[in-house]
Structure 1
Amino acid sequence: MSKIALYLRLSVDEANTDESNSIINQRLLLSRYLDQSPEFQTFQREEFVDDGFSGTSTNRPAFQRLMADVKAGIICHILVKDLSRFMRDYLELGNYLENIFPFLGVRFIALNDQYDSKTSEKNGLEIDVPFRNLLNDFYAKDVSEKVKSAMNTMKRSGKNMSWLPPFGYLKDPEDRFKIVIDEEVAPIVRRIFRLSIEGMGDQKIAQLLNREQTITPAERKMQVSQAKYQKTMILTDEQTRNVWTKGSVRQILKNEAYKGTYLFNTRTYIRGRLIRRPESKWERIENNHEAIVSAEVFEKAQQARLFRRGIQSSSLSQKTEKSIVTGLVFCEHCGHRLSLRQNKGQIGYFYCGYCKGQDHSVSSCRLDKIEASILEALSGYLESPAQSKANTEISRDIERLKTRKLELFQEYKDCYISSDVYLDKKVAIDEQVTNLEKSFLVDQKPQSSTKGLTKEIVEAHVEKIVVDCLGFFEVIYKS
């Protein structure tokens, strides 16, 4: 049965302001349209919801899943409330309407904009569609700048804008822009600083807190809010609970909020991705709220950690570069992804930080052994040097043709060529690209090779890698 996708999106800025764009109202509108359309009665419906994501970026979880299903041929129709729900970048949206969806055979419908790619004569090139997209793009950028400016003004006046304060603090019931000490868990924070100053490492502190079953930051957040943290749960002593880790202890010891400092604008969005800003650009307001530890205690803890790191750097393992299997290796016991480290001999290995924090006896698993096993299993799918060179040339030809198509589109927009001329040339280029892509796929048929693995090949064939407590591993391949 063919599937039709209902794509619903609501940005953070609209969450409390635009009732007409709420997820519920979008769902009702799209469902009513499908119920009243006889041609869609036999279609299976599937929802893709991005609640709290900007339309200016494609880095949205549900959007990425939707496009993956589209490319896999699972979705053949997409229905949205209007074009801005799908995307606010008018150039990128034009590319989807004009190139991507027609190439993949996907029918795209935007109800309020009365756009249906099946009945559109020019594949979305009518003057009103690009103009409307352009207005949506300008609107999104204008709103974003105004919201950002207003929030920065409030932050610089000392108003705490975080939705939930750090472990050890609560929102002031009298003023939602202030935080007060959470007396129930603040002693835990003070104890962590004291243990660190006394010489105990972050991992040892985590193990001690876990043995005593001390409440964790995530568990406290679940008590005071509706937040859920299922991914950080672990089975301990026949019950499922959150655990302390080396990382959670380190986050507390490094957080300047505990000495009364309000630290903000430490991160920023660049092209839809949240990026850490340089520390020199962080903004601070000293003595903005009541401190849990004094500034002297905070500085002593930092010096103690630096001292221990100086001793450990010559003997303990260090983080290494990501490998081609990073993100695919999981612990059999707790189900968490394993961390990749490197020992003094420069040998990479995976180990479970969660189980180690629980004092479980676990062995690490060497990276080279995992890679060797996968290399042997997938050797028939690796490119030979000749193939690699041929595919590179084909890729260059495809990119050249796509660039030429964009140039033609710009010439059409600038009225240098007519729509008929543009569409004829576009069809010819699309045919060339299709033929090149077919030859590219033929060239990548399985052949024997000794060339190393790539991240793309591993992700295409490996589901996950499971490591047990003895360090033995099993590679689970995709069917």
Structure 2
Amino acid sequence: MAKPLDPKAIEAERKTSSRAERREQKRRQMQDEISYNQRGNGVIIIPPQKRRELAEEPPKLRVAAYCRVSTQEEKQVGSFDMQIHHFAKRIEANPQWELVEIYQDEGISATTVEKRLGFQKMIADAVDGKIDLILTKSISRFGRNIVDILDNLRTLSALNPPVSVEFETEGITYTGDGRNNLLISLLAALAEMESQQKSEAIKAGIRWRMAEGIYKFSVQNTLGFYRDHFGRLVIEPTEARIVEYIYESCLEGATPAEIAAALTEQGIKSPMGNDLWSAGTVRSILRNEKYCGDALMQKTYTKDFRTHKSVKNTDLNMYFKENHHTAIIKKEDWIKVQKLLSERHSTAERATLRRLSNHFVAYRVKDGLFKGYLIIDSRWSFMERQEFMKIVDEAQNTMK
């Protein structure tokens, strides 16, 4: 058994030895050990063995580029070609990059991505893991709708691994780490606002030209007319003969449905290039004032600059210019056709109302909160309900 300790002596020693003295004692002890080791009795350092195999080269970055111009005008063609050439040259000059594809959309509006097939293909390839980095000229080239821009950037950043997007003009690379989110959101909002302002300016210029009678309306998918390289409206003789056939048949008593059936049977292509003609297509040709040389402009207009969807104009001014261009159909023949169409429509409508008046039975509420209201059959279709309301209006007008 070891010799018993003297607790009194230990406690007395603890009280007399200060903390500072203990630190100094420990420091002297460490210095003595270092001096001892430096005299050759220390630690032997063994360096790591060098690996003989060569380090593997990092894989090349798969890089794509996106190029777009918004119109197919000749002045934009040079810009589009230069974008493609610039990005192809830049990617090929970097030994660490590998060109995937230069995705292109020429003459397509950027306010939505629905019609930008090149853009959609690029996003699909990125999702499939074929792209590491996308180069584009600016945020306005990537898109001018803030929702679409941010949604597509989030889609790319959520991939594993994420796909980065470099906006060359702004000098920003979006990697999805959150550093540039606010800046890109602000720039995307400015791009959308710029698109809206440009749209309003373009529409104002169009309406001014309409008011002055110098607006060059589109004749795309219009039989008998085309514009030459000077922008002049020119008659296409072969298609003009089809228009003359339609008007002559109508004047001889044929209905639009009968004319459409005859054209289909003869193998004549429709304005859209279809084999089958519809009565609606024939009727629109017969109603089109451009065939007698007049021009009624702004029959439709674009209500929302984001969707570019045309709607029937019931809110804005229309602009009419008589003898605007060379006619295919004589004015007097065109007027006769309009009268025939109106008379046939009126006769058909009266016949329909007479038929429906014998078909419909409705009951009127005689008392209570809904006194005077008509109870209609829930099995009626929408068209039947519309026709019933015409009958009611006709009856009320007769009683007045």
Partner residue, 1:86: 142
**In the alignment, is the contact (CA less than 8 A) between 1:77 and 1:107 conserved in 2?**
yes
Q: Structure 1 residues 311, 185: closer, same or farther in 2, change over 3 A?
A: farther
Q: Give a deviation string over 1:433-466, Cα, whole Å, max 9, x none.
A: xxxxxxxxxxxxxxxxxxxxxxxxxxxxxxxxxx
Q: Provide the rounded CA distance (Å) in 1 between the counterparts of 2:205 and 2:173.
A: 38
What is the identity, as a one-letter code, of the residue corresponding to 1:273?
Answer: H
- The alpha-carbon deviation at position 191 of structure 1 amounts to 2.6
Q: Structure 1 residues 68, 308: closer, same or farther in 2, change over 3 A?
A: farther
**In the alignment, is the contact (CA less than 8 A) between 1:8 and 1:47 conserved in 2?**
yes
Q: Provide the rounded CA distance (Å) in 2 between the counterparts of 1:96 and 1:290.
A: 49
- The alpha-carbon deviation at position 130 of structure 1 amounts to 4.7
Q: Provide the rounded CA distance (Å) in 2 between the counterparts of 1:6 and 1:313.
A: 60
Matching residue within 292, 297, 318 for 1:283: 318
Partner residue, 2:341: 302
Matching residue within 219, 237, 248 for 1:194: 248
Q: Provide the rounded CA distance (Å) in 2 between the counterparts of 1:255 and 1:305.
A: 17
Matching residue within 3, 28, 36 for 2:93: 36
What is the identity, as a one-letter code, of the residue corresponding to 2:171?
Answer: Q
**In the alignment, is the contact (CA less than 8 A) between 1:59 and 1:272 conserved in 2?**
no
- The alpha-carbon deviation at position 207 of structure 1 amounts to 3.0
Q: Structure 1 residues 145, 201: closer, same or farther in 2, change over 3 A?
A: same
Partner residue, 2:301: 267
The answer as to 2:171 corresponding to 1:117 is no
- The alpha-carbon deviation at position 10 of structure 1 amounts to 0.6
What is the identity, as a one-letter code, of the residue corresponding to 1:101?
Answer: L
What is the identity, as a one-letter code, of the residue corresponding to 1:122?
Answer: G
**In the alignment, is the contact (CA less than 8 A) between 2:88 and 2:102 conserved in 1?**
no
**In the alignment, is the contact (CA less than 8 A) between 1:193 and 1:297 conserved in 2?**
no
> Which one scores higher on RCO, CA 8 angstroms, separation ≥ 6?
1
User: Aligned residue pairs: how many?
Assistant: 287
Matching residue within 153, 158, 165 for 1:108: 165
Q: Structure 1 residues 160, 217: closer, same or farther in 2, change over 3 A?
A: farther
- The alpha-carbon deviation at position 11 of structure 1 amounts to 0.8
Q: Structure 1 residues 24, 285: closer, same or farther in 2, change over 3 A?
A: same
- The alpha-carbon deviation at position 285 of structure 1 amounts to 0.7
- The alpha-carbon deviation at position 4 of structure 1 amounts to 5.0
**In the alignment, is the contact (CA less than 8 A) between 1:196 and 1:202 conserved in 2?**
yes
| SS of match in other structure, 1:38 | coil
| SS of match in other structure, 1:176 | coil
TM-score by length of 2: 0.58
What is the identity, as a one-letter code, of the residue corresponding to 2:66?
Answer: Y
The answer as to 2:66 corresponding to 1:10 is no
The answer as to 2:201 corresponding to 1:146 is yes
Q: Provide the rounded CA distance (Å) in 2 between the counterparts of 1:214 and 1:103.
A: 52
Q: Provide the rounded CA distance (Å) in 2 between the counterparts of 1:172 and 1:67.
A: 38
Unaligned runs of 5+ in 2: 1-59, 354-379, 382-400
Q: Give a deviation string over 1:180-212, Cα, whole Å, max 9, x none.
A: 554544343233123234443334313322444
Partner residue, 1:368: none
| SS of match in other structure, 2:309 | strand
Q: Provide the rounded CA distance (Å) in 1 between the counterparts of 2:342 and 2:123.
A: 49
What is the identity, as a one-letter code, of the residue corresponding to 1:89?
Answer: N
Q: Provide the rounded CA distance (Å) in 1 between the counterparts of 2:326 and 2:312.
A: 26
Q: Provide the rounded CA distance (Å) in 2 between the counterparts of 1:172 and 1:159.
A: 16
The answer as to 2:116 corresponding to 1:61 is yes
What is the identity, as a one-letter code, of the residue corresponding to 1:289?
Answer: H
Q: Provide the rounded CA distance (Å) in 2 between the counterparts of 1:35 and 1:123.
A: 29
What is the identity, as a one-letter code, of the residue corresponding to 2:337?
Answer: F
| SS of match in other structure, 1:273 | coil
**In the alignment, is the contact (CA less than 8 A) between 1:84 and 1:133 conserved in 2?**
yes
- The alpha-carbon deviation at position 38 of structure 1 amounts to 3.1
Q: Provide the rounded CA distance (Å) in 1 between the counterparts of 2:90 and 2:351.
A: 64
- Specify the structure having the higher radius of gyration (Cα): 2
Q: Provide the rounded CA distance (Å) in 1 between the counterparts of 2:280 and 2:132.
A: 44
Q: Structure 1 residues 145, 172: closer, same or farther in 2, change over 3 A?
A: same
Q: Provide the rounded CA distance (Å) in 2 between the counterparts of 1:195 and 1:85.
A: 50
- The alpha-carbon deviation at position 155 of structure 1 amounts to 1.9
- The alpha-carbon deviation at position 16 of structure 1 amounts to 4.3
Partner residue, 2:105: 50
State the identity as a percent. Answer: 23
- The alpha-carbon deviation at position 27 of structure 1 amounts to 1.2
Larger proportion of strand: 1
**In the alignment, is the contact (CA less than 8 A) between 1:261 and 1:284 conserved in 2?**
no
Alpha-carbon RMSD:
3.9
Q: Provide the rounded CA distance (Å) in 2 between the counterparts of 1:126 and 1:296.
A: 61
Q: Structure 1 residues 79, 180: closer, same or farther in 2, change over 3 A?
A: closer
Unaligned runs of 5+ in 1: 219-228, 233-241, 315-344, 347-479
Q: Give a deviation string over 1:115-137, Cα, whole Å, max 9, x none.
A: 3234x86342364x455445434
Partner residue, 1:250: 283
Q: Give a deviation string over 1:58-105, Cα, whole Å, max 9, x none.
A: 3333234444454555655433122221012356534544x3322233
The answer as to 2:107 corresponding to 1:24 is no
